[in-house]
Amino acid sequence: MNTNLNNGFGSWVIRFRWLIVPATLFLVFAAASGGRFLGFSTDYRVFFSENNPQLLAFEALQNTYTKNDNVMFAIEPKDGKVFTRKTLAIIEEITAASWKIPHSIRVDSVTNFQYTWADGDDLVVQDLVENAPSFTDAQLKKVQAVALAEPLLLNRLITRKSNITGVNVTINRPQKTITETPEVAAFAREMKDKFQKKYPDITIYLTGVIFMDNAFNEAGEGDMKSLVPFMYGIVLIIMALSLRTFWGTLTTILIMAFSILTGMGLAGWSGILLTPISANAPTIILTLAVADSIHILVTLFYEVRHGKTKYEAIQESLRVNHQPIFITSLTTAIGFLSLNFSDSPPFRDLGNIVAVGVMAAYVYSVFFLPAMMAILPLRVKKVSSSQNIWIDTFGDWVIHNRNLLFWGMIIIITFLSIQIPRNIIDEKFNEYFDTRYQFRIDNDYVEEHLTGFESIEYSLSAGESGGISNPAYLKKLDEFADWYRKQPGVMYVGTLTDTMKRLNKNMHGDDESFYRLPEERDLSAQYLLLYELSLPFGLDLNNQINIDKSSTRFTAILESVSTDYALNLEKSAQKWLKENAPPEMASHGASPLIMFSHIAMRNIDSMMVGTILALLIISAILVGVLRSFKLGLISTIPNLVPMFMTFGIWGWLVGEIGLAVSVVAPVALGIIVDDTVHFLSKFRRARVELGKTTEEAVRYSFHTVGTALLLTSIILVCGFLVLTFSGFRMNAQLGFMTTISIICALLADFLFLPTLLMKLDRLSTKKQVT
């Protein structure tokens, strides 16, 4: 490249060092002051773009009926009996107290269940349990029998064994401030603590969408607070061990901090709301930023050790490193920017924040770092260059064993690539959190012992105003419920027909033989009217019947099932509706489960496009940089090979691909391409500028960048390994998979790329000879 310009650049930086340092501080401060606008999102809906079709369907359903965000208290008496005076009294108390939870609009429990029965010609509608301490044993028995026979309660709020019961609170957050979720969660937890203390004979578990949302918030904040300092510690140790310079390490630490502050600060200015995903940005920026400094410092110290003055060394280091650092920063930024193709906004935010941070790191590394080094004292022991001998030995070993390595790598790559189809898409969103979160522990328990967390909901239309009373519609609805109840993994089905049957029985003097759907349309409608007039505040039917009485809500609650199973179940449900029900009843299932299941798929598709585009742009840049179409083309091989290896290893070891894993490809591409850039640019310099043979050029590449590549790879691996300690599964997966890809990239660049270069070179020499 332009040697003079970079030479000039180095002296320019040294000349204006006293200007660059305060200017940098000012810039960082200006950007970082945006940090005060940063907050953590507390709503799982942030994972979906505004026009995500599954989100729209679910919002429409919730706008037609009511929201289904909830807080669920699961109460387990230690004697294993819910239907005792004591326990029922507690449930009554918790039910009453739950109405005071902020933004609660409905509370359902076994005690306030609206029990209907016939008293002569009267329809009596009352709480199933009122004033439990006054109950006789016979009454307790009766209440238990009613609850267990009620399809709306069994496996939802009461278990068949009657050992656990639930109080479900529907929460309707106005979604105006991000403090709503933590407020609700804190209130419910306080309630739990209070009741737990007051009644030591029961155990209370807390779950529900609110707690999942709140866990997102806690996970993001927790990761930032624990993982970033951890990462700082690791980098510090590695730097101290490898560079053995106090001021260099200190300046690098500053640069990492500046880059993070810039990325996060600008995110604040642009109004990004953090999620556990984008909260990874600091760790990733930190990891990536350190490489720039290392490249500059390694050269600088090498030159000083070999007798150059400090200023000369700075100039030389910038001359050699400026362009590769710029290119690698650019390609990394492109990789992250391609996350904008993601359908899920948190990943776009992550991509943009990291891209900004990486480019900031480049700017600070070529201005602030040399300026600081020019100012600060530098003491270096002059040592012999024996340090690098091992990498030369390694280079020689690779050249010697090129045939073995080439074919060996081809076999390994092929073997791993075959494993790729083992990956199946699975996204269990309530398992995003590991057991260090109370939500996960409680939810697992509730799922296993009381009721499922995941659901599929439908809004089933009758096609005309008031049509839900049509006997034909009710009959279909009932058949659909029967079909759903027969499917494996379905715990509970909530539908209007069970209420209609019960009312019909009540209206016929509680005659069991009338526990069936009414046969006339006006009769059904009038039953419903009577029933509605009898219901208390908050327990009306608006959550399951639309205002026009032309459609009803249908809810299936599932055990913890795989995404694949849920999607197939939904597909067969639609097929059932299509084949058995009138066309107006056709409906798509909607729920967070369906949303998260689809977004994983959608994201994999969109990230495929993003990755290919990023690869094309990066390859084009490499063609320009290496000024060789052939080398640019060759570069795609070591860039792609690690991808295949990584997904193969993943398929072999894990086999489940979700939202997080789908973004690994472009992220990893941006990072691993750096190795190729460094290796190939040195290779080209040796071949073209120094006129060396292919073998010599390979040796030269190993000699000049081998150590730095190894060092930066170790740091990158450490950085992304740190992410695997996150309690948030997506981050852990992202970290683990990127780690694998970095190791694979290093293997590809050290073992495969050189042997490939030599093979291709021999082919072209042969051609030239013949």
Partner 1 sequence: MNHIFFILGIALFLNASPSSAETPEEKGLAIALEDDKRDNGYQDFTANLLMILKNRQGEESSRSIKNKTLEVEGDGDKSLSIFDKPRDVKGTTLLNFTHKVGTDDQWLYLPALKRVKRISSSNKSGSFMGSEFAYEDVTSQEVEKYTYKWIRDEEYQGEKCFVFERYPVYKNSGYTRQVIWLDQKDYKILRIEFYDRKNSSLKTLTQTDFKLYLGKYWYPHKMFMENHQTGKSTLLTWSDYEFRTGLSDKDFNKNSLKRTR
Residue numbers at the binding site for partner 1 (CB under 8 A): 60, 63-64, 66, 99-105, 119, 121-127, 172, 174, 465-466, 469, 507, 520-527, 529-530, 532-542, 545-550
Residue 103 three-state SS: coil
Minimum gap (Å) between residue 582 Cβ and partner 1: 19
Identity of the residue, 180 or 426, whose beta carbon is nearer to partner 1 in the bound complex: 180
- 351 is written with which tokens? 């991509």
Minimum gap (Å) between residue 154 Cβ and partner 1: 24
List all residues 6 or more positions away from 695 whose beta carbon is below 8 Å from its beta carbon: 399, 758
Identity of the residue, 126 or 226, whose beta carbon is nearer to partner 1 in the bound complex: 126
Q: Give, in order, the Cα–Cα distances in Å from 124 to each of 95, 128, 293, 497, 509.
A: 21, 11, 78, 19, 11
Identity of the residue, 124 or 424, whose beta carbon is nearer to partner 1 in the bound complex: 124
Residue 209 DSSP class: H
Minimum gap (Å) between residue 550 Cβ and partner 1: 8
Identity of the residue, 58 or 205, whose beta carbon is nearer to partner 1 in the bound complex: 58
- 721 is written with which tokens? 């390994």
Identity of the residue, 121 or 579, whose beta carbon is nearer to partner 1 in the bound complex: 121
In order, the DSSP letters of 598-649 are HHHHHHHHHHHHHHHHHHHHHHHHHHHHHT-HHHHHHHHHHHHHHHHHHHHH
Identity of the residue, 517 or 634, whose beta carbon is nearer to partner 1 in the bound complex: 517
Q: Give, in order, the Cα–Cα distances in Å from 716 to each of 290, 730, 749.
A: 9, 18, 15
Minimum gap (Å) between residue 455 Cβ and partner 1: 20
Identity of the residue, 101 or 751, whose beta carbon is nearer to partner 1 in the bound complex: 101
Minimum gap (Å) between residue 522 Cβ and partner 1: 4
d(CA 443, CA 74): 10
Minimum gap (Å) between residue 521 Cβ and partner 1: 6
Count of C-beta atoms within a 10 Å radius of residue 283: 25
Identity of the residue, 182 or 466, whose beta carbon is nearer to partner 1 in the bound complex: 466
Minimum gap (Å) between residue 171 Cβ and partner 1: 10
Strands 656-657 and 424-425: parallel
Minimum gap (Å) between residue 532 Cβ and partner 1: 7
List all residues 6 or more positions away from 227 whose beta carbon is below 8 Å from its beta carbon: 283, 722, 723, 725, 726
Minimum gap (Å) between residue 113 Cβ and partner 1: 13
d(CA 489, CA 561): 7
Placement of tokens 């291709």 in the chain: 760
Minimum gap (Å) between residue 524 Cβ and partner 1: 8
Q: Which amino acid makes up residue 469?
A: S
Identity of the residue, 9 or 531, whose beta carbon is nearer to partner 1 in the bound complex: 531
The dihedral over CA atoms of 289, 393, 760, 408, expressed in degrees to the nearest 10, equals -90
Identity of the residue, 114 or 438, whose beta carbon is nearer to partner 1 in the bound complex: 114
Question: Edge-to-edge, what's the strand order for the sheet holding 70-77?
Answer: 104-108, 165-171, 70-77, 202-207
Minimum gap (Å) between residue 654 Cβ and partner 1: 41
Identity of the residue, 99 or 406, whose beta carbon is nearer to partner 1 in the bound complex: 99
Q: What are phi and psi of 277, to 5 degrees?
A: -75, -55
d(CA 619, CA 34): 35
Minimum gap (Å) between residue 454 Cβ and partner 1: 24
Q: Which amino acid makes up residue 375?
A: I
Identity of the residue, 369 or 507, whose beta carbon is nearer to partner 1 in the bound complex: 507
Minimum gap (Å) between residue 69 Cβ and partner 1: 12
Q: Which amino acid makes up residue 667?
A: V
Report long-range pairs for 721-725 (Cβ below 8 Å, ≥24 apart).
722/227, 722/230, 722/231, 722/234, 722/283, 723/227, 723/280, 723/283, 723/284, 725/226, 725/227, 725/230
Minimum gap (Å) between residue 67 Cβ and partner 1: 8
d(CA 709, CA 114): 69
Identity of the residue, 542 or 628, whose beta carbon is nearer to partner 1 in the bound complex: 542
Identity of the residue, 65 or 647, whose beta carbon is nearer to partner 1 in the bound complex: 65
Q: 256, 231 in Cβ contact below 8 A?
A: no
Residue 205 three-state SS: strand
Count of C-beta atoms within a 10 Å radius of residue 324: 20
Count of C-beta atoms within a 10 Å radius of residue 436: 12
